[in-house]
Amino acid sequence: MAQRYVRVRTAKGQTYYGLLQLSRGVQVLDAPPWLHGQPTDLQLEPDTYQILAPCAPSKIIAVGKNYASHAAEMGTDVPKEPLLFLKPPTSVTAAGTEIHYPPQSQRVDYEGELALIIGDRVYCCTPEEAQTKIWGYTIANDVTARDLQKQDLQWTRAKGFDTFCPLGPWIVRELSPAARLQTFLNDDPQPVQSAL
């Protein structure tokens, strides 16, 4: 099994980064892993911690209409240039936690996404240099108030509510090129999204 990096909170309110063990225990690191955190002697037993979002990003840069099927669903083509937007850090929540629906929206949609964890500052670099800055990968749900998105003609409000960016539950360092991103709703065993 690939190493799974997690961020957890203990019953005493202490937050740690660590390595998830097969036993479901967590080997605590002395710093975030992308800052070269090393294993400590502290081991958290299963059921003594809560899994948080695997990181606490300073910003979330997202790409809109990046899947052909989703762009078609919205009645458009995939843009020639990446369609970038920001989600605020306050939208981040742990995978599996409740998403709070805003009362002003009547249609809240899920959007399963692959999230890249950038482990170092990067500015004005080549695609090859950018590739070396990707520290790991996790899963994101780009929750969207679809009716507000259409109403506002821009995406800040529709995608920026608190809890509108569930992340995780963990980060892995590598992905198989044949990996399939699948999105499941609640306990339904059938995926609602499936893409390479």
CATH code, residues 60-176: 3.90.850.10
To the question of domain 4-51 being in CATH 1.20.120, the answer is no
The structural domains of the chain, with segments of one domain joined by +, span 4-51, 60-176
pLDDT tens column, 136-191: 999 999 999 999 999 998 899 999 999 999 999 999 999 888 887 788 878 888 88
d(CA 15, CA 94) in angstroms, rounded, equals 13
In the three-class reduction of DSSP (H, G, I as helix; E, B as strand; rest coil), residue 60 is classed as strand
As a whole number of Å, the end-to-end CA separation of the chain is 21
pLDDT tens column, 145-158: 999 999 998 899 99
Instruction: Find the DSSP H helices in the chain.
Output: 68-73, 127-132, 146-152, 156-160
The token duo for 126 is: 């080549």
pTM for this structure?
0.89
Contact 30, 18 (CB under 8 A): no
Residue 116 pLDDT grade (very low, low, confident, very high; cuts 50, 70, 90): very high
Q: Of 94, 121, 123, give the one whose Cα is nearest residue 35.
A: 121
